């Protein structure tokens, strides 16, 4: 079990620990576990060790670069990384070496982070893997779903192969792997983190966000990643967040919305009970539980999401698909074909607009809405390389009624573990909030984690704290 970003960064700053020793330890763990878990697509051992050595030199010279100084992180293989392949899980990009880092990578490095390497993902960041790429394995049980697009990030964090990782979320792919692997993650407000230098899936839905073991660590990463970027036209014209400094706020009086019918639309009794117990913990800390009603139609969101996301993805990839169509996998190829047809697109856009308006109205009445983060862990129901029809069981098990609303609205969502199944697998709760409410969501999540120990669970029993 590795320590937190917060405690390790403090130890490095004080000289109690060195970045080079921490980085070597993580690299040794990667060497031991990654051949089985397949979290990493590429490990930059030499680059990480050189950066760690420089971090220690800076500390010894009295220079502290930032809150991530000397901390080994990993990034999803959608980010442009200078001189290191950026594939997006797509065969035709296996030899693509960006000339510069994307904005998110630049900001992590500016905050002092050590980048260990690139993490595996589904092809194009959709739901199916390309046959020529490794599939991340859930460290809790390799017969269970690892969480779709940001699966490599979820597996790496849960297994202690990095202190934190970046994920992206177009329809749930930060929250799904957090749920599947028992870790903490934040899909921030749309535009909070620049997408410049990111291979996109559906630009109006895509979000970059941090994934780590605790809310505190996620907040530290968010603060480093956030802030306006003129190179991204959708970037919010706001300064970087300061969430990590506000975590100790009181939750007394914060209103948590609860829709029993919405929560009951998931099938797992274990999950419903765990979420209700989590709400009780926050209520004991002073939060006020408020009955709400989610907008009607939340069970039918996957169809309009699919139409919009597939069309935007087709626009992003149409040139490559024209020239390299034979290199695309079955699932992603079929997904792009659907997008090219524009089938149901206008109707889908109208449904999105209507639901988003109604959803924002509900969010305005509370400080957060508590609900599942995409269901409970489930066994892989179909080949992860299959076409659209064959993968539909996985899409139905990953309950998109809980994830798509925040993508449609561009509002933040925090996911963290809150229990275990009878089989010992992690269960998670999600807090949904209005645009710009990351501090409030993290305040609630941090208060929960200071009272409970679910975020300290490990898939390796001997390491559990």
Looking at the annotation, which residues are catalytic? 76, 149, 173
DSSP single-letter state for residue 376: S
Which of 357, 345, 413 shows the shortest CA–CA distance to 207?
413
Residue 14 CB-density burial (10 A; 0-12 exposed, 13-18 middle, 19+ buried): exposed
Q: End-to-end distance of the chain based on CA atoms, in angstroms?
A: 8
255-281 as b/e: b if 16+ CB within 10 A: ebbbbeebbebbebebbbebbbebbee
Specify which residues 419 forms β-bridges with.
Answer: 427
What would the two tokens of residue 102 be?
A: 């994307």
Element (H, E) at 288: strand 288-291
Phi, psi (rounded to 5 degrees) for 409: -90, -15
Helix 19-37 to helix 45-60 angle (10° resolution) is 160
Specify which residues 285 forms β-bridges with.
Answer: none
CA-based max dimension of the chain: 61
Helix (H, G, I), strand (E, B) or coil at 303: helix
Which of 439, 417, 418 shows the shortest CA–CA distance to 181?
417
Strands across the sheet containing 426-432: 40-43, 114-119, 72-76, 164-169, 207-212, 184-187, 413-420, 426-432, 368-372, 255-258, 288-291
Q: What is the C-alpha to C-alpha distance for residues 137 and 143, in angstroms, rounded to an integer? A: 8
The CA–CA distances, whole Å, from 180 to 177, 188, 266, 379, 384 equal 5, 19, 15, 10, 15
Q: What is the DSSP string of 89-152?
A: T-GGGTT---SS--HHHHHHHHTT-EEEEEE---GGGSSS--TTSPPP--SS-TTB---GGGHH
CA angle 32, 33, 35 (to 5 degrees): 95
Check: CB of residue 178 under 8 Å from CB of residue 429: no
Element (H, E) at 338: helix 330-341
Helix (H, G, I), strand (E, B) or coil at 9: helix
Check: CB of residue 152 under 8 Å from CB of residue 41: yes
Check: CB of residue 202 under 8 Å from CB of residue 170: yes
């Amino acid at each position: 079990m590795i320590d937190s970003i917060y405690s390790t960064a403090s130890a490095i700053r004080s000289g109690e620990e060195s970045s080079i020793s921490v980085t070597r330890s993580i690299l040794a763990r990667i060497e031991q576990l990654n051949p089985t878990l397949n979290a990493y697509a590429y490990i930059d051992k030499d680059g990480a060790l050189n950066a760690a050595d420089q971090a220690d030199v800076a500390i010894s010279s009295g220079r502290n670069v930032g809150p991530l100084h000397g901390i080994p992180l990993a990034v999803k293989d959608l980010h442009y990384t200078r001189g290191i392949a950026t594939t997006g899980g797509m065969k035709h990009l296996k030899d693509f070496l960006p000339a510069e880092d994307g904005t998110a990578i630049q900001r992590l490095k500016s905050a002092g982070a050590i980048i260990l390497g690139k993490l595996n993902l589904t092809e194009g960041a959709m739901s199916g893997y390309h046959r020529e790429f490794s599939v991340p394995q859930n460290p809790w049980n390799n017969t269970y779903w690892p969480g779709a697009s940001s699966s490599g990030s979820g597996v790496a964090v849960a297994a202690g192969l990095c202190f934190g990782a970046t994920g992206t979320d177009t329809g749930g792919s930060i929250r799904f792997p957090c749920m599947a692997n028992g870790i903490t993650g934040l899909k921030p407000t749309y535009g909070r983190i620049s997408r410049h230098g990111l291979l996109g899936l559906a630009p109006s839905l895509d979000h970059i966000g941090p994934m780590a073991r605790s809310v505190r660590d996620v907040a530290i990463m968010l603060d480093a990643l956030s802030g306006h970027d003129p190179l991204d036209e959708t970037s919010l014209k706001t300064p970087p967040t300061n969430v990590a400094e506000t975590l100790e706020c009181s939750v007394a009086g914060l209103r948590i919305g609860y829709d029993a019918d919405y929560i009951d639309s998931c099938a797992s009794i274990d999950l419903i009970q765990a979420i209700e117990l989590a709400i009780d913990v926050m209520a004991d800390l002073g939060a006020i539980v408020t009955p709400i009603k989610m907008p009607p139609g939340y069970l039918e969101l996957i169809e309009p999401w699919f139409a919009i996301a597939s069309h935007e993805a087709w626009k992003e990839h149409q040139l490559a698909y024209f020239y390299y169509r034979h290199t695309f996998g079955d699932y992603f190829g079929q997904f792009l074909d659907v997008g090219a047809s524009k089938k149901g697109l206008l109707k889908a856009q109208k449904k999105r607009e209507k639901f988003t308006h109604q959803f924002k109205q509900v969010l305005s009445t509370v400080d957060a809405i508590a609900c599942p983060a995409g269901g409970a862990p489930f066994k892989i129901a179909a080949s992860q390389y299959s076409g659209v029809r064959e993968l539909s069981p996985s899409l139905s098990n990953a309950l998109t009624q809980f994830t798509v609303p925040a993508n449609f609205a561009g509002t933040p969502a925090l996911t963290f573990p809150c229990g275990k199944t009878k089989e010992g697998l992690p269960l998670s709760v999600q807090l949904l909030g209005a645009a710009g409410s990351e501090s409030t969501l993290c305040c609630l999540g941090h208060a929960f984690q200071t009272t409970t120990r679910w975020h300290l669970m490990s898939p390796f029993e001997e390491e559990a704290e």
